[in-house]
Amino acid sequence: MIDHVSLAVRNLGQAVPFYERIFSALGMTRLVTRPGMVGFGKTYPEVWINFRPDMQPLSPDGGAHLCLRAKSIEEVDAFHAAAVSAGGISESAPSMRPHDRVRYYATFIADPDGNRIEAVTFLKSNADADAVIPGRDQR
């Protein structure tokens, strides 16, 4: 079981406001601030943002991938909107994701350093997934 994760960033002053906005869409807040690091979570620091001033720019496929569970489709949509408005890059708009075992609703964004952050919610049934978003892109 994972207790927490850390993401490296080159500019803490840029990263913290970015993460405050996107995490707030999922009910997470800044809980701890220490020199060179900030912890976000719901009840304890689940995600740490760590300042790495000597970190080289990441290649498009070289950053971390962090997936966070959302409570609803609306939270996934809000996460994506917050990320884009805060300067993140949309790598995949919110949409249904059909897979062998389960269909889920998710989005991917990249933070200013190239870390990929995903928000996902699982629907109760495939029938719910089919009915959830009429007329929306169903990738």
For position 21, which CATH number holds?
A: 3.10.180.10
Whether the per-residue pLDDT at 125 is higher than 80: the answer is: no
Specify if 137 maps to a domain.
no
Rounded Cα distance between 136 and 128, Å, is: 14
Domain presence at residue 123: yes
Which pLDDT score is estimated for 96? 93
Q: What is the mean predicted confidence (pLDDT) over 113-132? A: 77
pLDDT tier at 127, thresholds 50, 70, 90 = low
**Which 8-state DSSP code applies to residue 5?**
E
Mean pLDDT of 13-20: 96
- Residue range of the domain that includes 39: 5-52+64-132
Domain count, the chain: 1
The pLDDT of residue 128 is above 80? no
pLDDT (tens digit, 9 = 90+) per residue, 34-76? 999 999 999 999 999 999 988 887 776 778 899 999 999 999 9
Strands annotated E in 1-139: 5-9, 29-34, 37-41, 47-51, 65-69, 89-98, 103-110, 116-122
